Amino acid sequence: MFSCTKRSLDVEIWLNADLINKMSSYYDYVIVGAGSAGCVVANRLSASGKHSVLLLEAGGPDSSPWIHIPIGYAKTYYDGKVNWRYQTAADPGINNRRGYWPRGKVLGGSSSINAMVFIRGQAEDFDDWHAAGNTGWGWDDVLPYFKKLETVACTDSELRGKNGPVYVNQVIRDMHPTNENFISACKEIGLSANPDFNAGSQEGVGYWQINTKDGRRMSASRAYLRPARGRRNLTIKTNCFVSKLLFAGNCAVGVEFYCKGELVSVMAVKEVVLSAGSINSPQLLQCSGIGDKETLQALEIPVVHHSPQVGRNLQDHLGMNYYYRSIVPTLNDRFNSLSGKVLSAMQYLLFRSGPFSLSVNQSGGFVRSSENRKRPNVQLYYQPISYLSAPTGKRPMIKLDTFSGFQIGTSQCRPKSRGYVNIISKDPNISPEICPNYLSHEYDLEEMLESVKLIRKIVSAPSMQSIVVEEILSGNQVDGDNALIEDFRQRGDTVFHPVGTCTMGTSVSNSVVDHRLKVHGMQNLRVVDASVFPTFPETRTLQV
């Protein structure tokens, strides 16, 4: 038999002969998932040269040009080569519709296919984490790491970093002119302007900052993995699907994975770090025997550790977009004309500028949906583009409307509805059940009503009225609380931010990992990704 004990930072492992024979090689650390978190962990653990590190990624290399051209995420949005393309269960909160959840399946993970808007989060959100018993996660604790990760040229604020691997830009000169109409209208109804959402207060409206450098996406892979590739102590394996974590008693000792059709086992002498994301991390824990014991036993999975919160506490931002016909040309006109496409392509190829170098989310803000809210509780998005003619559910932005149009969207910052991720088979190749339980909390309905009414108030301001022909969707005929709620249930959709399924907390009864991200009740096993967030910090592109 075998056991596992700790001595300082090292682990001595005694294994039986059968388990030893399964191991093809060993490393100090094995990291599962090369996404936004895994790339960072691989860089940091291998930096000293003292530790051997294996990074395993189920997807392939980030070689597609559509990954690196910022507007290219319109292409990767539904591309199965770089995207898990998850579907949720039918959700009563959105009239039993199934949601489409793209998740990165490539080096860089979702940071290689997302919309690149760079937001740190509200200081109070992190202080809430700390107050809940998660030592070291207050705003004053995390701020040095936010500064450490970034290089920002668009501000002189002492709260921003200047020498980090993630480049952050705010290219206002390339933004569409109608953004100024949106921002001006917000100010006309009393919302404040904010030139930098990532310094001081997050409240207000303005232009988004995006993580790009020289007109190219700054993914976690580009920022953290590429500088580390030459290290002899770092091994990166792509197209390797991890099927199971290996344990000696309550100690993680390695992983099994499929690579080129072959089942391979490797040993982790010090730790296994699970960075597979808010869907795959709880799925892999459950398939490996860590989860609710009744769920595992029903699927004939041997229980390694009863951890009932695995897969629970799922949170996601549910968004709502309103579409408008415009008097003035928008990006629809530019991208629907041959000359506009050629001009945009030439701008990008010659100068790395123009609309190809940007996100379609160009401006927006964090605001209070009513004067009764104590801090910003909803986010606004302005996009000088519309795609109502795109196939339902897929929203590929390469098929734009033929008229001049734009959209304004909103989502809550801190929804109270909670869902879950649960395996339905012990086969890790079978996707888990994803149940967001959108709008299951009355509070979320209240904030939704306030935020959609706020959008219409913004559009009624003079600066927006000067460019608006009509509201196409939902249309002015959809009015009154009941009609607005029904419209939200019928059209609301994910904003692609699932968190919380391996939540951080003080005990196994209320969480999966502790404040050091160690799995409760286990040794040498951590979860390091957005699944550990106990609640939403209003962040995008969190890479530390």
Question: Catalytic residue numbers?
Answer: 497
* DSSP H or E segment with residue 101: strand 100-101
For residue 446, the SS3 value is helix
3-state secondary structure 409-439: EEEECCCCCCEEEECCCCCCCCCCEEECCCC
Give the bridge partners for 246, in sequence order: 254
Q: Classify burial at 402, counting beta carbons within 10 Å of its beta carbon; exposed 0-12, middle 13-18, buried 19 or more.
A: exposed
Which position has the token pair 């949005």?
77
Q: Say how far apart CA 358 and CA 350 lie, in whole Å.
A: 15
Question: Is there a contact between 112 and 219 (Cβ–Cβ < 8 Å)?
Answer: yes
The CB density around residue 325, as the number of other CB atoms within 10 Å, is: 17
Which position has the token pair 């509070």?
443
For residue 320, the SS3 value is strand
**Could you tell me which residues come within 8 angstroms of residue 375 by beta carbon, excluding any fewer than 6 positions away?**
122, 124, 203, 368
Sequence letter at residue 340:
G
The CB density around residue 486, as the number of other CB atoms within 10 Å, is: 14
Burial annotation 168-203 (CB, 10 A radius, 16+ → b, else e):
bbbbeeebbebbebbbbbbebbebeebebbbbeebb
DSSP string, 335-396: HHSHHHHHHHHHHHHHHS-SGGGS-S--EEEEE-SSTT-SS--EEEEEES---TTSPTTT--
In the chain, what is the straight-line distance between the N-terminal and C-terminal CA atoms, in Å?
39
Give the bridge partners for 23, in sequence order: 265
**Could you tell me which residues come within 8 angstroms of residue 95 by beta carbon, excluding any fewer than 6 positions away?**
489, 490
Query: Dihedrals φ, ψ of 153, to 5°?
Result: -105, -10
For residue 182, the SS3 value is helix
Torsion, Cα 496 499 502 506, to 10 degrees, reads: 180
Q: Which tokens belong to 465?
A: 């009225």
- Looking only at Cα atoms, what is the longest distance across the chain? 77
